[in-house]
Amino acid sequence: MKKLYFIPLLVFVACVSPVDENKANRPSEWHGNWNAEWETPPESYPEVQDMEFYMTGLFAFTEDSLTKTVNGYPGCIFAIDTLSHTQSWHVSGDTLFLMNGPESTGMTYLVAAKSSERIRLQLMEDIFVTLSR
């Protein structure tokens, strides 16, 4: 008879919707437009010559999405065209996660430094993105 009390509890727990943890980790202080500058040290690519190792763009954070615009140009190591891409995003600990879909992580950036006017992100070992208002 005791098992019958356990079954409704189990059904209730199984049917409760989980909290969207990603939505809870989209801090409002990130919202808005941020000028972006990508850079990498030329020493990291000694075999590459006649290329530029910086690029500008924009990160536009909203509560639900991030639109990243990169201003590529011929001779730029990052991109040769201007591109724009919208993704979902969230922050967990010291990491910014960009999501291509509900189950598909895109790029992840280490949040190396952050203030109200400036965020320094690190992608891989030697690619940095500085966001500023």
Residue bearing the bigger pLDDT, 21 or 11:
21
In which band, very low, low, confident or very high, does the pLDDT at 100 lie, cut at 50, 70 and 90? confident
85: left (phi over 0), alpha (psi -120 to 50) or beta: beta
The string of pLDDT tens digits covering residues 31-86 is 999 999 999 999 999 999 899 999 999 999 999 999 999 999 999 999 999 999 99
86, amino acid identity: T
- Provide the 10 A C-beta neighbour count for residue 105: 12
Burial (CB count <10 Å: 0-12, 13-18, 19+), residue 32: exposed
How far, in Å, CA of 116 to CA of 125, rounded?
Answer: 25
Instruction: Specify the fold of 25-132.
Output: Lipocalin (2.40.128)
pTM of the full structure: 0.79
